[in-house]
Amino acid sequence: MPLDPDDTATTARDLMLDRMWATAPGTLVEVGLLNGDPSLGGTELDPADCPGYARHAVTWSGFWLPAADGAKSSAEFALPAPTAEWTDAGQWDCIYVDGYAFDAAPLVDPVVVTAAGDGPVVQIVRAFSSAVG
């Protein structure tokens, strides 16, 4: 029985995603939030507008879950606790490596903070948009 091309493509994408994200790309890896698409001028949230905002330092081992259905998701993690309402929302995540923006993608759900409290829980996702060929 021949393989279903859609299943084969998904399996290949899962394999590549697992390999691409298997090794930390640098010494210090952090995840931050951007207020929009960086190619359209989105910038990292500012602690002046988002009191208590800070990047989340990543321990690479155990950060990524196994790829499934053509997507690679991180384990959920909490950002530092906000100290007041944020006047800006996180629309994109950004992976910073040794202080430099390395990779960014839209968040599945925007991060909106309306009051001080526990840090927002975030999960980031990386995926190929379609199979090649």
Per-residue model confidence as pLDDT tens digits over 17-53: 888 888 888 899 999 999 999 999 999 999 999 999 9
If phi over 0 gives left and psi between -120 and 50 gives alpha, with beta otherwise, what is residue 70?
left
In a domain, 133, yes or no: no
Average of per-residue pLDDT values in the chain: 90
* Structural domain harbouring 122: 5-127
Whether the pLDDT of residue 133 is over 80: the answer is no
Q: What is the pLDDT of residues 73-95, one digit of tens each?
A: 999 999 999 999 999 999 999 99
Task: Give the C-alpha separation, 93 to 45, whole Å.
Answer: 10
Domains of the chain: total: 1
**132 within a domain of the structure (yes/no):** no
| Mean pLDDT confidence for 54-76 | 93
Which helix (H) or strand (E) segment holds residue 6: the answer is helix 5-20
- Rounded-to-integer distance, Cα 30 and Cα 101, Å: 9
